[in-house]
Copies of this chain bind each other. A is one copy, B any other.
Amino acid sequence: MSVTAPAGFRAAGVSAGLKSTGNKDVALVVNDGPLDVAAGVFTSNRVVAAPVIWSRQAVADGVARAVVLNSGGANACTGPEGFADTHHTAEHVAQALDVSSGDVLVCSTGLIGERLDMTALLGGADAAVAALALDGGDVAAEAIMTTDSVAKTVVVTATDGSWSVGGMAKGAGMLAPGLATMLSVLTTDAVVDAAAADTALRRATARTFDRVDSDGCMSTNDTVLLLASGASGVKVSTDDLTDLVTRACADLSRKLVADAEGASHDIAVRVTGATTEAAAVAVARAVTRSNLFKAAVFGNDPNWGRVLSAVGTVPEDVAPFDALAVDVSINGVQVCRAGGVGEDRSLVDLAADREVHVVVDLHAGEAEATVWTNDLTHDYVHENSAYST
């Protein structure tokens, strides 16, 4: 049910002809209220697609009634004409829904540097408006897929069942912080105000989507939106909202890693004993960015020397620790102890499972953090050398 699981939402997913495959490529999510609260988090890339420029501005007032999303074209690096296309799309959908165009958010994903086929897109938007349904969440999730092999959806319900958070996401590979290369729309029927929605979404993404890093690359279109309808009538605290939104984002993040292009392993790099959470993230990020380490994991080689080499690249002022105190364990085997040789690396079996758990203990403090990544495989190289984005 994804985005239509919480009360107050309708959605649709249709084939507009933007994808050469004929697969669904236009999705629409509508908030029927009574509230029209919205929040958004966007890529920190300075090169941003037209829909990011539009939606960042449109959601700044904390209000939105609908999100129209297309796959089959990113509308990035398309100049003023590309921005006009996004604006036109928002106006077109707003008119069909009888809302203000400033309350219609737009997301696009696909190839950079090409204009969208606006005839196809607007036709698809009309078809999506006509197809809006209370159970449309799943087809909407399908319509935003690009190289995804499966649609990603989530529903998290409050313990007492009185309200919930639903969500959908697309993204496979190119996952990097700030944000992963992805689009995600989350919905809730909780009664919250715009400030609470914004706080919850920022806290949630900082610890979930911002901590999956498939290949270190950051896209021009990354967008995560949260819409609140208030239809449950249940007023919730910012902390409770943060909790459920974080659980929904964590689930979607894990699904993005599991579906990363060409990957054969999902790798959790957990850094413990750091002086601060930021230091732990910095060290974990250095490991998840090491092509050498990631290639070793693909080869089922528990190469702790490459982990330690990556750990050592983090500047002292970012993460204080003594390099001669660092322990590394891989899948529970402490292969590196105090910066030197630990247990026999042949005890580590990486072939048995898709998940790999690396723990780096800095022995410098009490903070910790986990960043997820994937291994570097032949299929990653193949998919990203043969497919333009």
Contact = CB atoms under 8 A, between A and B. Distances in A.
Nearest to A176: B313
Interface string A345-389: 000000000000000000000000000000011101110111011
Given A113-B341, A216-B291, A385 B299 contact: yes
Contact of A312 (B215, B220, B291): B220
Interface stretch (A42-50, A131-139, A234-242): A42-50
B217 A290 contact: yes
Interface string A316-332: 10000001001000000
B388 A47 contact: no
A61 interface: no
A296 B45 contact: no
Contacts of A389: 292, 303, 305-306
B299 A77 contact: no
Interface string A124-159: 000000000000000000000000000000000000
Interface residues of A toward B: which range?
A: 35 or more
A296 B48 CA distance: 20
Interface in A94-115: 111-114
A311 B47 contact: yes
Given A112-B305, A378-B382, A381-B378, A291 B339 contact: no
A218 interface: yes
B381 A381 contact: yes
Q: Which among A215, A303, A386 has the greatest number of chain B C-beta atoms within 10 A?
A: A303
Contacts of A91: none
Nearest to A383: B295
Contacts of A113: 304-305, 336, 340-341
A47 B309 CA distance: 6
B112 A309 contact: yes
A218 to B, nearest CB: 5
B314 A46 contact: yes
Interface in A72-123: 74, 76-79, 82, 111-114
Interface of A: 44-48, 74, 76-79, 82, 111-114, 174, 215-220, 289-292, 295-296, 298-299, 301, 303-306, 308-314, 316, 323, 326, 336, 338-341, 376-378, 380-382, 384-386, 388-389
Given A112-B308, A113-B305, 19 more contacts: A46-B311, A46-B313, A46-B314, A46-B323, A47-B309, A47-B311, A47-B323, A77-B304, A79-B339, A79-B341, A111-B305, A215-B292, A216-B289, A216-B291, A218-B313, A219-B309, A220-B309, A291-B384, A378-B382
The 6 closest A-B pairs by CB, nearest first: A299-B385, A112-B305, A47-B312, A295-B384, A79-B340, A45-B312
